[in-house]
Amino acid sequence: MMQRELSDAELLALDLDLFSTDCERPELCEGDAGHTSNRSTESCCTGQGTAEVTCSANEQSSNQQNVSEQESDPLCEGSSTKRRKWDARIPLERFGRKYLSVTDLSRQAWCEQQVVYGMELPHIQQLRDEVPVVKAGSCLHLARELEVQDVVPINVESREDNWAVKMLNLLSMIQFLQAGELELRELKTRGQRTYPSAAQKRSHHLQVSIYKLLFEAMIKGQLNKDTITHHLHLRTEQPLGSEILVHAQKVGFTINTFGDLLDLMLLNLTYADIPSVDTMKIEYCYQADASVIGTEVVSFEEEWVKSELKHYSSFWKGQREATGVDIEEAWKCRSCDFADICEWRQSKAEEATQKNRANQCK
Ligand code: SF4
C-alpha cells in the first residue's frame, strides 16, 4: 500500500515541464546564491519503506527572507491591482517561485484570488497557518507519518544535500512500490465531524489526481535531469555532505556527487517496474479525537485534471489575470481572511447591485 510518501513540492519539482516556465532571470534564494555552505538538519527515513515528508530548513529560511523582502517592497504599497500593473513580471517570477506545489494548485481550485493575496500578504497567510485548527491538522499528519517510518536526522550542508535526502527517501521506497497493487491515500483532517462541502471535495479530488498524474509520469521515465537541475538551480558536480554519504552507503548506494544520486534515482524509477496507482482514496479524520469520519474513493479523470492544470498554470505564466470565486460561491468569502480588501469581491458585489437595480427598473 502506498502511503503519502512524497511531498507536493517533491512531486511537482520532479515534473517541472508541466508547470514551470523558463524564466530568463534566475531567482536567488538562500543557500542558492553562491551556493554557500549551509548546515541544517534534514531527515532520512529507514525501516518501513516510506519516504519522509520534510520541509528543508534552507527552504524555510528562504521563505522567511521572501516575507521581509515583500514587506519592505515599495511595490507592495497601494492596491493589489496597482501593484500588479507596476510589476511586469509573470506571477511565477513575481512570487519568487521555482515551481508550484500541488497544494498551491488545489488551493487555486478553491479561490485563485485568495492564493494571490496569500502570497502578496504572507504575514496574513502565516497567521492562518498558525491557528490551532491548522496546527492540530499538522500534528495528526505527523503522527500518521511517524506510525510508518523511522526518522534519522541528517546534517545537510548545501541545497543539493537537501534534495539528496528527498531522493534517498524515494529510492528507499522503491522496493515497496514494486509490491503489487498501489493505493494512493490522502489524509484530510477536519475541525467538525462532517464531510467537507462539494467545493472542498473538488479541490481535494484535484489534489490526489495530480499526485497520480505526476507519480505515473515519474515511473514512466518522463523526468528529465536537465529540467530538474535547471529549474531548481542544482549543481550535478556538487559533492554530497559527509552524513549524506554515510547514510547512502548504509542503504546500499555508493555515490559521491549530487549528479551521481540524480542519475541513480532516474535509472531506478525508470527500470524498477513500478505499477500504476490503482485506487485513490481520501480519508477524512476528525481532529479532536483522530477518529475517521469516512473514506472516499476518487475516480481518476485524466482529461479533467489536465484541463484544470492548463487553466491554472496559464495564470502563473501570466497569460491571464487571477480570478476570484463566482457569485454562486460567494459563501466562500465569508471565511476568507482577505474578504475586507478583496477587489474581486467588491467588483462582484457592485455588479450584483447594478443588476438588481436594472431588474427593478424593468
Ligand atoms: S474574498 Fe472571496 S473572492 Fe476574494 S479572495 Fe476571498 S474567497 Fe476569493
List the grid coordinates of 226. 536537465
Return the residue whose CA atom lies nearest to atom 1 of ligand 1.
Answer: 339
Pairing between β-strand 277-286 and β-strand 182-190 as defined by DSSP bridges: parallel
Determine the Cα–Cα distance for residues 74 and 80; give it in Å rounded to an integer: 12
CA 122 / ligand 1 centre spacing (Å) = 16
110 lines ligand 1 (CB under 6 A): no
Q: Which atom of ligand 1 is nearest to the CA of 116?
A: 5
Residue that has been written with the C-alpha cell 555515490 in this structure: 255
Determine the Cα–Cα distance for residues 197 and 187; give it in Å rounded to an integer: 16
pLDDT band at 41 (very low <50, low <70, confident <90, very high): low
Least confident of 14-23, 197-206, 252-261: 14-23
Compute the radius of gyration of the chain from its Cα atoms: 22
Provide the 8-state DSSP code for 131. Answer: S
- Which residue among 333, 334, 351 is best mutated to probe the pocket of ligand 1, counting the most ligand atoms within 8 A of its Cβ? 333
Least confident of 57-66, 67-76, 212-221, 350-359: 57-66
In DSSP notation, 226-258 reads: HHHHHHHT--TTPBPPHHHHHHHHHTT----BH
pLDDT at 356: 85
pLDDT at 90: 93
CA 250 / ligand 1 centre spacing (Å) = 50
Q: Which atom of ligand 1 is nearest to the CA of 324?
A: 3
pLDDT band at 193 (very low <50, low <70, confident <90, very high): very high
Angle, helices 102-110/198-219, rounded to nearest 10 degrees: 150
Q: Which residue type occupies 230?
A: H
For 334-359, letters b (16+ CB in 10 Å) and e give eebbbeeebebbeebeeeeeeeeeee
339 lines ligand 1 (CB under 6 A): yes
Determine the Cα–Cα distance for residues 292 and 187; give it in Å rounded to an integer: 10
List the grid coordinates of 290. 483522530
Determine the Cα–Cα distance for residues 140 and 130; give it in Å rounded to an integer: 15
pLDDT at 20: 35
Per-residue pLDDT averaged across 80-109, rounded?
84
pTM of the full structure? 0.75
Indicate if the pLDDT at residue 238 is higher than 60: yes
Q: Which atom of ligand 1 is nearest to the CA of 117?
A: 5
Provide the 8-state DSSP code for 2. Answer: B
Torsion of CA 53, 57, 58, 64, to 10 degrees: 110
Indicate if the pLDDT at residue 63 is higher than 80: no
pLDDT at 129: 66
CA 323 / ligand 1 centre spacing (Å) = 9
Q: Which residue type occupies 165?
A: V
111 lines ligand 1 (CB under 6 A): yes
Q: Which has the higher per-residue pLDDT, 354 or 210?
A: 210
Return the residue whose CA atom lies nearest to atom 7 of ligand 1.
Answer: 333
Q: Which atom of ligand 1 is nearest to the CA of 342?
A: 4
pLDDT at 84: 65
pLDDT at 145: 80
Least confident of 132-136, 176-180, 234-238, 295-299: 132-136
Residues 42, 165 contacting (CB under 8 angstroms): yes
Sequence spans of domains, the chain: 8-320, 324-362
pLDDT at 53: 29
Per-residue pLDDT averaged across 109-123, rounded?
92
List the grid coordinates of 88. 511586469
Determine the Cα–Cα distance for residues 156 and 165; give it in Å rounded to an integer: 9
pLDDT band at 143 (very low <50, low <70, confident <90, very high): confident
Q: What mean pLDDT value characterizes the chain?
A: 78
Determine the Cα–Cα distance for residues 285 and 137; give it in Å rounded to an integer: 9
